Structure 1
Amino acid sequence: MTYIIGRGYGRALLTPDGIFFKGPFRRRSIPWAEITEIEKRHHTARSSEWWDLRLVRANGRDLAVPGAFTSNRYDHKFEAKLALLREYWQRAAR
C-alpha cells in the first residue's frame, strides 16, 4: 500500500546535480553520476496495463520515479517527463 501512495503522491525534483525524491514517507537524493539508465517499463496485470519510469543505478538496482506513471499507451505528458529526465541526465554527463 505504501508503494502505491508513494507513487501517486511522491514528487521528483530535478537539479543539475541529481534528482531529489520527496514522498509522504521518505526523502532521498540520487546524483546523476550514479544513474546508468532511465527506462520506460511496461507492466501488465489481469485486466490492466501501465507504464512507469525507472532509474537504473550503478549498483544494478532500479528505482521508480514517483508521479511518473500512466495507463495510457500514448500519453504526451508521460513522454514529456521521460524526455525531461533524460535531458537532465545527459546534460549532467557532459
Structure 2
Amino acid sequence: MEDIRIALPARQRRRLLIRLGLATAVLCGPFWWENWGVGLLVTAVWSPLAAGGLGWVFGSLLLTPESLHLRGPLRRRVVPWTEIGLITERTTHGRSSTYRIAIVYTTDRPGPRVLPGLRADSVTEEPDFERALATVRAYQRAVARRRSF
C-alpha cells in the first residue's frame, strides 16, 4: 500500500487565508492606531485563535499502512491504525456559515480528533470533501483487511 496525503485544495486554502487575514486586520488594526495597550491586548487574545485557523488552512493528513499522521503548522500527531475507531463527519453551524469537518475517535483519548485537510465550507467543496473522506475510510478498511490475514 502506498502513502496518501490529503490536504485542502489550493482555492479553498486561499479563501480561508483571505478570511483570516481580513478578520485579523479588522479586529487588531484599529486598536493599534488608537491605543497601543488595547491593541496589544486584542492581539494577544486573537493570536491563539488565528493560530488555530492556520491549522485548518495548512493542516494535512498522511495515510500510511502503519498509522495516520495528523500534520498541522504547530503540531504533528501519529495515531496507529490499531487505536483508530470510527471515522465520521460533523456538521457545524456558525452564525453566518455552515461547514463540515471529519473527525476520528481513538482509544487514546476520550473525545474525537479533528482530521486536518478535510473541511467543506460550501456546496462547491462538497465533492472534494466526500472524495477525501471516502479515501480515508477505504484506506482504513484496506489496512484492517491486511491485518486480518
Q: 5+ residue gaps in structure 2?
A: 1-48
* Distance across 2 between alignment mates of 1:72 and 1:17: 33
Q: How does 1:1-94 map to 2 (within 5 A)?
A: 1=49, 2-58=51-107, 59-73=109-123, 75-94=126-145
Mapped partners of 1:83, 1:60: distance in 2: 24
2 CA distance for matches of 1:57 and 1:7?
A: 20
Unaligned runs of 5+ in 1: none
Query: How far apart in 2 are the matches of 1:48 and 1:22?
Result: 25
Please tell me the residue identity of whatever aligns with 2:121.
Answer: S
TM-score normalized with structure 1 length? 0.90
8 Å CA contact retained: 1:54, 1:62: yes
Distance 1:31 1:61 in 2: 17
Q: Which has the higher contact order (CA 8 A, sep 6+)?
A: 1
Aligned pairs, how many?
A: 94
Task: Please tell me whether Structure 1 or Structure 2 has the larger radius of gyration of its CA atoms.
Answer: 2
Percent identical pairs in the alignment equals: 32
State the 4+ residue runs in structure 1 displaced beyond 6 angstroms: none
Q: Larger % of strand: which?
A: 1
